[in-house]
Structure 1
């Protein structure tokens, strides 16, 4: 344990201009000792590096620095910027800059931290660490805080996993963001409006390393591990985009709870007359799947021979399309029920009534497929059960009024989907 930690503002720095020797200015203003940690606001680093640019339109500047939009609400945007940071407005800052200009983040904040550390050691002989900071909002929390966007001379994470707490319990998850804690601590004495952009944290020399280290890269969560990578509406659009017809699956089992969550989403679909015209048959056992598919195959083969007059080779080619169901580890059969439908005496209105209910089950199935995609499962909705409904009902012992509306194969995709080109809305839109 440290005997104590001091937070010291570095005062007397001039207004920073492009090309300024920032290391020399800090070395002159700060009385540094070995083991100090310099906490430096990114704004003055950007100014020294000439990152002040003319931009009458701040939104255009944000666009230029953005590689991915995470969330958008009105005019506010959370984005991933060129440095890999997820933050508001890509870090483009229009405060405390001349009209018509904006300040961009350093191109390489870790590189800036290393250069600043080396320059200070050259001038003072002191071995210090450097943390470059910027202000972030945080999910689930109101208010802003400074975090590290560049670092040199310290490990930005302190991994407690495998250690034992005071009660003898082994820690399994705790990894402390040391650099972010230092950034927030330094901001307590830097302040946003006092013109004090640098602070010294003293008393934590144990954190300072001889090598520059890996910088802030370890602080950035990998996309594959990020459970909150998108905003709500963006996540929905992403899930819709991820929904692809998958025809090859791994042998990994499907989590029944995930399918039930998808069904729960499915039954929120709109339906006529405040009805619930959906039933979902979950074919979970291998025996039930085999019995169903064998019975369907026999019915299909019979109809293709007797009703369509196909030869055996043509029948075999046609029924091979059902392999996507046979090779899937899990099947879902959506069924339409007409409970609550109106009984019209004329055929025209009766047909329209059934069409309304059919549209409702289509909406429910789309909800199901999108939710499965969000759970990491692939799916293929095929129509085969609609051509042998009596066989399906008899094999699965379903009520006579349950109308199978295809079958959905579910499983983990065996391969990544092929790239799909963007499909703009205009070709499918008519405006009156």
Structure 2
């Protein structure tokens, strides 16, 4: 895991500010605390959407199972404190976008390293919906903004690759 994380830190980053942070969770009691905290928020959101209780229960159980079954859970966070500050809102928004992009690249680099080690990895975005809850459950520094949750372990299956849009729909050649 340390080698995977080290590889992730070689991702490109705007201004070389390296805003990514990794919270590595392997302890079962910490996983349980994280799961229950996020589940409460997830339930509340699903109830607001008017989903039937059976659907809510199934989605919550799937989330719980993913967190508990993964030997390693990495919360990918962004710390934008090192990014440039501008008085111009347009430039400031661009700076924050660069921090998000840099953090996402580190997450991708991490998943590529996971694969290179013969492991499996799954990226989910649940922490974006409950950043304060995740931060509190894991006692993360106030500047760490949870962006994604990655599950790492030996794959139990070899799922088929989801269908991709044809290149003609996603690329322009000029």
Aligned mates of 1:385, 1:375 — CA distance in 2? 26
Whole-Å Cα distance in 1 between the matches of residues 31 and 97 of structure 2? 29
CA separation in 2, counterparts of 1:298 and 1:420? 30
Q: Deviations over 1:55-92 (max 9, x none)?
A: xxxxxxxxxxxxxxxxxxxxxxxxxxxxxxxxxxxxxx
Name the residue aligned to 1:315: 56
Q: Which residue of 1 aligns with 2:154?
A: 412
In 1: Cα distance, 2:83 partner to 2:33 partner: 33
Give the 3-state SS of the residue equivalent to 1:399 in structure 2: coil
2:18 match: secondary structure: coil
CA distance in 1, matches of 2:20, 2:115: 20
For 1:329 and 1:344, the matched residues in 2 are separated by: 41
For residues 348 and 316 of structure 1, the distance between their equivalents in structure 2, rounded to whole angstroms, comes to 42
CA contact (8 A) 1:262 1:371 kept: yes
Residue matched to 2:5 = 263
Please tell me the root mean square deviation across aligned C-alpha atoms, in Å: 2.3
Compared with structure 1, are the counterparts of its residues 264 and 304 closer, same or farther at alpha carbon in structure 2 (3 Å cutoff)?
same
User: Larger Cα Rg: Structure 1 or Structure 2?
Assistant: 1
> Which structure exhibits the higher relative contact order, with contacts defined as CA atoms closer than 8 Å and separated by 6 or more residues?
2
Is the aligned partner of 1:367 residue 2:97? no
2:20 is aligned to 278
Cα distance change of structure 1 residues 349 and 373 upon mapping to structure 2, 3 Å threshold? same
Whole-angstrom CA distance in 1 between matches of 2:140 and 2:158? 36
Aligned CA distance change for structure 1 residues 375 and 424 (closer, same or farther; 3 Å): farther
Within the candidate set 363, 388, 397, 2:130 is matched to: 388
Alignment of 1:206-285 (within 5 A): 259-285=1-27
SS of alignment partner, residue 334 of structure 1: strand
Instruction: Measure, in 1, the Cα distance between the counterparts of 2:52 and 2:87.
Output: 43
Distance 1:419 1:314, change over 3 A: closer
What is the aligned residue count? 173
Output one character per residue of 1:108-159: Cα deviation in whole Å (capped at 9) or x when no partner: xxxxxxxxxxxxxxxxxxxxxxxxxxxxxxxxxxxxxxxxxxxxxxxxxxxx
Match of 1:118 in 2: none
Cα 1:260–1:425 change in 2 (3 A) is farther
User: Taking structure 2 as the reference length, what is the TM-score of the superposition?
Assistant: 0.87
Choose the corresponding residue for 1:343, options 72, 85, 95.
Answer: 85
When the two structures are superposed, what TM-score results if normalisation uses the length of structure 1? 0.37
- Compare the two structures and name the one with the higher strand fraction: 1
Which runs of no fewer than 5 residues in structure 2 stay unpaired? none
- Quick check: 1:379–1:409 contact (8 Å CA) kept in 2? yes
Secondary structure of the residue that 1:342 maps to in structure 2?
A: coil
Match of 1:290 among 28, 32, 38: 32
Q: Secondary structure at the match of 1:261?
A: helix
Aligned pairs for 1:94-133 within 5 A: none
Provide the rounded CA distance (Å) in 1 between the counterparts of 2:51 and 2:148: 23
Q: 1:423 to 1:298 in 2, by over 3 A?
A: closer
Q: Is this contact kept in 1: 2:81–2:143, CA < 8 A?
A: no
Contact 1:263 1:368 in 2 (8 A): yes
Question: For the residues of structure 2 that align with 1:398 and 1:267, how far apart are their CA atoms?
Answer: 19
**Contact between 1:283 and 1:331, CA under 8 Å: does it hold in 2?**
yes
Report the alpha carbon displacement of residue 298 of structure 1 after superposing the two structures with TM.
1.4
